[in-house]
A and B are shown apart, each in its own frame.
Chain A
Amino acid sequence: MTIVYWAAYGMLGAGALLALVRLGMGPSLLDRVVATDTLLVIIAAGLAVHAGLERDPTVVPVLVVVSLLAFVGSVSVARYIGGMLVGSADDGQDVGLPEAAEERAARAGEAPR
């Protein structure tokens, strides 16, 4: 049972840590939104794992709230960014904005992996 605890919480913790790394590195706001979304899902999964392993149903309502929160957060940020868009006339992308940092880095030869 101890091995199961270590494996489960270890994998959850590593996943959350890597999501935090992406949250800190960016490079764009949308990457951070995706990372936050994933982080909240991992937190919800951790609560459910705790409830399952300890047979402790008190955290189950918290789970509902956390999963609601993840959706509301990512959709509201996406709406906020989308609200700033100016219509484009040619290729369906926004006008007058710089190209993606990822694309620039790829052209410089050092593709971030």
Chain B
Amino acid sequence: MSALEMVRDAVAIVLLLLGTFLCLTAGLGLVRFPDVLTRMHAGTKPQVLGVLLIMVGAAIRLQGWSATWMLLLVAVFQMLTAPVSAHMISRVAYRRRHVRRDRLMVDELNSGGGVRDRVYQGDEPADAPPEQPGAALAKSREEDEAR
């Protein structure tokens, strides 16, 4: 085994071990953190950095272009989908009251109990628009003016 191969293996193994360590920290955070948002923060650690490290390590060890491209595909896919699923889960968590509001420092979604627009609330399901958009918009404007 030449010196170059040894260095390559050492780098790959260090990357793999770092990635597995991130998986361990994700499990610890999931168990110890107090609510959904903080658990999500811990749980997505291996989703991006851990997967990237492990994919790079495995690609160095596998030494084949087909395997490398597939590992790259997995890494890119993880980086594309992690924000989407995190956004959806955290939005539902906030609206379903699974967020510890006493531990939030800034709560920008809370309008302080004031009057809000009753027609457009900002995050309606996309498949349930107002039945008559024109009339709904007019009503919304009226409410704004009367306020």
Contact = CB atoms under 8 A, between A and B. Distances in A.
Contacts of A11: 17, 20-21, 23-24
A81 B130 CA distance: 21
Contacts of A8: 16-17, 20
A82 B92 contact: yes
Interface size class of A (residues with CB under 8 A): 35 or more
Given A92-B109, A113-B34, A22 B97 contact: no
Contacts of A17: 27
Nearest to A7: B17
Interface residues of B, number: 73
Closest 10 CB pairs of A and B: A18-B27, A52-B58, A15-B27, A15-B23, A38-B43, A71-B81, A78-B88, A52-B61, A11-B20, A11-B24
Interface of A: 4, 7-9, 11-12, 14-19, 21-22, 28, 30-31, 33-35, 37-38, 41-42, 44-45, 48-49, 51-53, 55, 57, 60-61, 63-64, 67-68, 70-71, 74-75, 78-79, 81-83, 85, 87-94, 97-100, 102-103, 106, 111-113
